[in-house]
């Protein structure tokens, strides 16, 4: 992938964040998501790539834009696979809460696992603990191995997770071992980035979240030389085993089988993102632990973007000032 593509990709998440901002705190996550999707697609189609969405907004039947299999870009240039989450934290956006981001990951063709939209158990660490994780072992064994690799006692270890009832037991267990737990309401991609960033106080991420978010996280883990292991979990193993959830679970297993993936089997980082020639871009929508949110003052908007290019392992923080009246008309129609 040509080097300049990274900068062009950062414009995609900037546009999505600006579009989402209009809907921050307005209570409708679907409208917010729709605006971010439209903005993302608009900019993607201006870029010289032969891109295919492999992690997106769903199948063609239920997602009019950025559906899985959709081709984006001018068709000229690098053939790439693209994983998008136009709003990672739709509920936070709708409720005006912190930590919502727009994210995208781009890789060479065929490098991302085409994971179905189901739950995924994820364990992520940064470079210094990359050899310490094994999802076949217990959480306690993993925490001890990570602490040992980092040369610190368990009570100096910090784990990010999602504050969901399904994690109550794990959170209690970790806290019982003395581990400090940051349980955020939503948004495990940003937390995954923090687990791998050299200047972050988060040592690991452990949670059950979305598989699409897991693949996007794998891209950034790859780029930052961390490690990740994961397991796809059918819905009844995560939610109440109601009739509906059992039916969904059976569909998920069938999807996985069709893709040649075994549910509940440990997936390594190499299976999730096959090499580190990836581009990852995230722009803050609302202010968060990782990024500043969008701020608009009259015709001026500022955004903060984290842009990571795996090949060179360059991490850029880009603070942009946008003169909104100079944007092209199609983008203005989405943003205003």
- The CA–CA distances, whole Å, from 235 to 95, 113, 240 equal 26, 19, 8
Contact call for residue 234 and ligand FBP (CB under 6 A): no
**What is the smallest separation between the CB atom of 188 and ligand FBP, expressed in angstroms?**
4
Q: Token pair 């870009």 is at which residue?
A: 73
Q: Residue 258 is encoded by which pair of tokens?
A: 């069709």
Residue whose CB is nearest to ligand FBP in the complex, by number: 209
Quote the distance between the C-alpha of residue 71 and its chain's center. Answer: 21
Angle between helices 168-176 and 139-150 (to 10 degrees): 50
Coil, strand, or helix at residue 245? helix
Q: Which of residues 177-216 bind ligand FBP (CB under 6 A)?
A: 186-189, 209-210, 213
The stretch near ligand FBP (CB under 6 A) out of 80-88, 244-252, 268-276, 282-290 is 80-88
Complete edge-to-edge strand list for the sheet that includes strand 267-268 = 180-184, 158-162, 204-210, 119-125, 227-233, 267-268
**What is the smallest separation between the CB atom of 327 and ligand FBP, expressed in angstroms?**
25
Under a CB-based contact definition with an 8 Å cutoff, are residues 81 and 55 in contact? Answer: no
Q: How far apart are CA 272 and CA 286, in angstroms?
A: 28
Contact call for residue 288 and ligand FBP (CB under 6 A): no
**What is the smallest separation between the CB atom of 263 and ligand FBP, expressed in angstroms?**
17
The stretch near ligand FBP (CB under 6 A) out of 19-27, 69-77, 83-91, 301-309 is 83-91
**What is the smallest separation between the CB atom of 85 and ligand FBP, expressed in angstroms?**
5
Q: Cβ closer to ligand FBP: 147 or 282?
A: 282
Binding mask 118-157 for ligand FBP (x = CB under 6 A): ----------------------------------------
Apex 23 CA angle, 19 and 25, nearest 5: 145
Which one of 164, 180, 287, 311 is in contact with ligand FBP (CB under 6 A)?
Answer: 164
Q: Cβ closer to ligand FBP: 280 or 322?
A: 280
Long-range contacts of 326-335 (CB under 8 A, 24+ apart): 330/42, 331/15, 331/18, 331/19, 331/39, 331/42, 331/43, 334/15, 334/19, 334/35, 334/38, 334/39, 334/42, 335/18, 335/19, 335/21, 335/22, 335/39
Contact call for residue 90 and ligand FBP (CB under 6 A): yes
Question: Nearest-CA neighbor of 103 among 37, 152, 155?
Answer: 37
Which one of 51, 56, 73, 89 is in contact with ligand FBP (CB under 6 A)?
Answer: 89
Q: Cβ closer to ligand FBP: 144 or 239?
A: 239
What number of chain residues touch ligand FBP (CB under 6 A)?
A: 14
Residues forming contacts to ligand FBP in the complex (CB under 6 A) are 85, 87-90, 162, 164, 186-189, 209-210, 213
């Amino acid at each position: 992938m040509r080097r300049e593509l990274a900068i062009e990709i950062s414009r995609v998440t900037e546009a999505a964040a600006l579009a989402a901002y209009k809907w921050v705190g307005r209570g409708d996550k679907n409208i917010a998501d729709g605006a971010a999707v439209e903005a993302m697609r608009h900019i993607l189609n201006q870029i010289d790539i032969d891109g295919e969405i492999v992690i997106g907004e769903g199948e063609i039947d239920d997602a009019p834009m950025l559906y899985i299999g959709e081709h984006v870009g001018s068709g000229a240039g690098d053939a790439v696979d693209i994983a998008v989450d136009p709003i990672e934290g739709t509920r936070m956006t709708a409720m005006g809460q912190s930590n919502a981001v727009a994210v995208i990951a781009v890789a060479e063709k065929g490098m991302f696992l085409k994971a179905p939209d189901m739950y995924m158990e994820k364990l992520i660490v940064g470079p210094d603990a990359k050899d310490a994780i094994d999802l076949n072992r217990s959480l306690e064994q993993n925490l001890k191995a990570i602490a040992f690799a980092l040369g610190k006692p368990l009570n100096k270890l910090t784990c990010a997770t999602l504050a969901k009832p399904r994690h109550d037991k794990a959170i209690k267990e970790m806290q019982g071992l003395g581990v400090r737990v940051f349980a955020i309401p939503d948004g495990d991609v940003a937390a995954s980035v923090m687990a791998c960033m050299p200047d972050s106080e988060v040592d690991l991420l452990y949670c059950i979240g979305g598989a699409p978010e897991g693949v996007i996280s794998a891209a950034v883990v790859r780029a930052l030389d961390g490690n990740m292991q994961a397991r796809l979990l059918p819905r009844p193993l995560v939610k109440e085993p109601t009739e509906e959830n059992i039916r969904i679970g059976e569909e998920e297993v069938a999807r996985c089988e069709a893709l040649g993936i075994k549910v509940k089997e440990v997936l390594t980082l190499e299976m999730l993102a096959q090499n580190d020639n990836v581009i990852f871009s995230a722009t803050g929508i609302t202010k968060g632990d990782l990024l500043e949110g969008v701020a608009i003052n009259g015709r001026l908007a500022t955004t903060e973007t984290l842009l990571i290019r795996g090949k060179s392992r360059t991490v850029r923080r880009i603070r942009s000032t946008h003169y909104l009246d100079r944007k092209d008309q199609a983008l203005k129609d989405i943003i205003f």
